[in-house]
Structure 1
Amino acid sequence: MVIKILGTGCANCKKLEANAKEAIKELGLDAVVEKVEDLQAIMAYGVMKTPALVVNEQVKVMGKVLSAEEIKKYLN
């Protein structure tokens, strides 16, 4: 499983990344978290508001910082 956090490095982006890593750890998943900060790459996903959560190349949420509990719903 590949999880991408799309964002330019703002505090909200970093929080979403930390929450995603926490969710993966709590679920015991074998997943990779990648940070995408390049604006062209972010726009290629059709994301206009960051941060965004991408799971296996599908945009799940944009413009919102999800808690680890909320992220788990997208990982199961």
Structure 2
Amino acid sequence: MKIEILGSGCAKCKKTKEIVGQAVAETGTDAEIVKVEDMDTILSYGVMLTPGVVVDGDVKIAGKVPTVDSVKKWIS
């Protein structure tokens, strides 16, 4: 599974990466977590507001920091 964190490196983007990491650790999911800061790549997903989370190519959230429980639902 590939999880992409979309964002420029702002505080909310860093928090999102932390939450995704926590959810992956708690569920024991085998996932590659990638930080995407390239605006062309972010826009290619149709995401205008960051942070964003993409799981296996599917945009799950944009413009908000997800909860750990939300991320767990997306990856299980």
TM range (shorter): over 0.9
Q: Give me the TM-score of the superposition, normalised by structure 1.
A: 0.97
Residue 60 of structure 2 aligns with an amino acid whose one-letter code is: K
Q: CA RMSD in A?
A: 0.6
Percent identity for Structure 1 against Structure 2:
47
How many angstroms does 1:22 deviate by?
A: 0.3
Per-residue CA deviations over 1:31-69 (Å, capped at 9, x if unaligned) read 000000011110011101100000001101101101212
> Residue in 2 aligned with 1:40?
40
1:60 and 1:68 map into 2 onto residues whose CA distance is: 13
The answer for unaligned runs of 5 or more in structure 2 is none
> Residue in 1 aligned with 2:57?
57
How many angstroms does 1:70 deviate by?
A: 1.7
1:70 and 1:31 map into 2 onto residues whose CA distance is: 16
2:60 and 2:39 map into 1 onto residues whose CA distance is: 18
Q: How does 1:1-76 map to 2 (within 5 A)?
A: 1-76=1-76
How many residue pairs align between the two structures?
76
How many angstroms does 1:9 deviate by?
A: 0.3
Q: Give me the TM-score of the superposition, normalised by structure 2.
A: 0.97
The answer for unaligned runs of 5 or more in structure 1 is none
